[in-house]
Amino acid sequence: MASVQRPVAFGRYLLLDRISVGGMAEVFKGRAFGVEGFARFVAIKRILPQLAEDRRFVEMFITEAKVAVQLSHANIAQVYELGRQGADHYIAMEYVSGKDLLSLHHTLKRTGERLPVALTAFIGARIAEGLGYAHRKRGQDGRPMGIVHRDISPQNVLVSYDGAVKLIDFGIAKARIRSYEETQAGVLKGKFGYMSPEQIIDGDVDQRSDIFALGTVLHELLTGKRLFFGDNDFLTLELVREADVPPPSSLNPEVPAELDAILLRALARERADRYQTAGELSDDLARYLHQSGPGLSGKGLADWMRTRFAEDLAAEKQKDDAWRQFALTPEGEVVQVDPEEDEATALWDAPFDTGGAKLPAWLRAETSPDPLDELPSLGNAPTGPSPARRFDAAPTGTGALLDLPTGRRETRRGGREWVLAAALLAIALAAGFGLFRLLSTEPPPVEPTGLIVRTDPADEVTIYIDGRLVGERSPVVVRDLPRATHEIRVDRPGYQSFQQTVKLDGPGLRPIDARLVPIESEPARLRFVTRPKDADVYVDGRLVDPGVRNRGLQLPSGRPVDVSARREGFRTLTQRVVPEAGASRTLTLTLEPTPGTLIVDSDPPGDVYLDGRRVGRTPLTQSDLDVSRPWRVEVRRPGRPVWRETLRFGDKRFLQVNPDGPR
C-alpha cells in the first residue's frame, strides 16, 4: 500500500494532494462525502491565500465559476459547486485521472516519440466539439452568453486514462455575464504562444480566436515542436502577429495533406479565412478520421494512454487505495478506517444495487437488537462512513445464520435441520428478490423516430420541418418525431428551395439528402476602391487581381460573398455583399490603422507615464495606442533619475523599451 500523508479537512471535503498551482489559484485532489454512503474523488480549486483578500481576484474567481457551472458537456470538465470555507473561495469540479497535454508533450519529447496522427485528430475533434458547445451556449434568458475561452493551451486540455478529453479552466473566459471586466487597458490575457494575432494586436477576440489557439495546440502535437516561441515575450508576440505557419507535414511526414489543410485553415492569420465556428473544425476533423480508416473512438485513445502510462496509472491507483483509508465524519473530523474490516468504505465507491428495495438488516451484517428491523432508507443514511464493523461477532436472532460456515452454532444433533433451514431460506430469498427485480424491470426503450437532413451545400442553409426551424447547418438530426407525414423545406440564398414530403411509419432515423440547385440569373459586377490604395482585396478568401478590381469582378447574383481588404499595419475590413442580378456596383473599402502596443520593463520596477498620465508599473504592456502620433514616455523609480523618451511607431506596431537597456 502506498504511503500517504494524512489528508486535511476542508468543509465537507478532504484535501489529499496538491495537483498544481497557478497565478490565481491552486488545485487539490480531494474526496467528497455525502449521503447514502456516497464518496468520490474531486478536484478542488482554491483561490491562493495571498489573494483571498483582493476583491478583484475574488470576483474573477467567482466569474469563472458562474461561467463554468452552466456548461455541461462530455468534453468540458464539470463544475459541481462554488463554495466558501472560512475566507477561502473554492470551486469543486470533476477530477480527471490522466494527463494534461503539456505533460503528454514533455513525456513524448523525452522519449523522442510523437502522438499518433489519428489520436491527435481525435483529441482535436473532441476539444472543438466542447468549444463549439461553449460558444453556442445560451443563458437562462435565452440570449447567447458569448463565451470565449481565451486560454486554449496544452495545460488546459486533459486526457483521461479512460480515453475522455476534457477542456478546463474558464478563468479568463470572456462572457456576457461577467460581473467584473478584467480586460483592462495594458493587460494581455492568456499565454503569449497560444494567442491569436487579433488578441495581441487590438484585443478584439471572438470564438475564432479560440479556434486559432486550438490550431496551435494541434500543430505542436503533430510536430512535437512549439509553433510560436521566441527568445523573449516580445519576439513570441511578433511571431504570433505574423502567423507564418508551416504545414505540419513539413516537420512530420506522417501528416497527410487533408490534415495539413485543416490545420492551416484553423491557423489562418485573418479571422475571415479561418473556420468560423468550432463545430465546423470538429466536423472536418471527424470527416478526416472517418475517411482515413476505421473510425477511432475513445477506446483507442484509452488503450494508448493505459499502455503508454501504465506505471503512472498503477501508482495513482495504489495511492487512491491508500486514501480510501480516510473518511470524514459529519462533525468534520478526519478518521481512519481499516478497509479490511469496514465494508462500508468499499460500498461508498460502488453503492449496493438493491433495485430500490430495502434489505433486511441481517443481510447487511448489521448488529441489531431486532433481526427483522430494516435498515434506514438510503435517503436517511448518515453523512460519512459508520465506525468500522467486524463480521466475526455473531448477530442475534436470524443474523446467526451468517456464522454457519464456522460450525460454532451447529450441534451434531440439529446440524442437518439448520442446514436445511438455511438452504430453504436462501432459495426463498433468491426467488423473491428475483421476482421483485422482474416486476420492477422497465420495458426496453423504444427506438425513437426521427430524421437526419443532409444538404449540399451544407452551410448558410435554413432547414424547416413542418414549418419549424430546426437548423442552420447540415447535417441536422431531429428525434422523437410523431409517426406521421412531415414537410421538409431547405432554403439558401441564391438557390432554389428544396421541398419534400416524407411519411414516418417506423423506428429509426430516416435520412433526407437535399441537393440544392443554384438559381440561374444574370451575373452581377463589383468594382473595388480601397483606402489606402495599395490594400489587397479578397472575395471569399481569393485574392482579386488589381486589374480586375478596376474593370469589375463578375459574380453570380443572389449568392452572398465575403469581401475583405487587407494591408500590413491596418485592421482587416470584412463585409458580406449580395450581388444583385445585372447590377454594376462600386464598393469602397476604408481601412483603419492597427493600434500599437508598447512594452516597458525596468529593474527595479517603476511607474510609467504616457504623455504625463500614469498608466501603471513595470513590467507593463500598453495596447490600443495611436500609431500616427508620437508618445512621450517616462519611467520614474525611487533613487533613480526620471527616464524620458519620445517614441514613434512608424511602420512598426510593437515597441519594447527598457531604461536600463541599450539606447
* Residue 374: half-sphere exposure toward Cβ, Cα within 13 Å: 8
Q: Which residue bears the cell 500517504?
A: 4
- The set of residues, in sequence order, having a beta carbon less than 8 Å from that of 369 and lying 6+ positions away, is 396
Contact of 605 with 584, CB cutoff 8 Å: no
d(CA 580, CA 414): 102
3-class DSSP state of 246? coil
User: Is 601 assigned a catalytic role?
Assistant: no
List 54, 88, 141, 151, catalytic entry: 151
The alpha carbon of 179 is separated from its chain's Cα centroid by a whole number of angstroms, namely 22
Contact of 27 with 377, CB cutoff 8 Å: no
d(CA 451, CA 551): 48
Question: In the numeric block, which cell numbers belong to residue 343?
Answer: 465494508
Question: In the numeric block, which cell numbers belong to residue 431?
Answer: 426467488
- The set of residues, in sequence order, having a beta carbon less than 8 Å from that of 449 and lying 6+ positions away, is 479, 480, 481, 482, 483, 504, 506, 507, 508
Contact of 631 with 652, CB cutoff 8 Å: no
d(CA 663, CA 660): 9
Residue type, 150: R
Contact of 353 with 36, CB cutoff 8 Å: no
> Of 8, 281, 350, which Cα lies nearest the Cα of 132?
281
Active site residues: 151
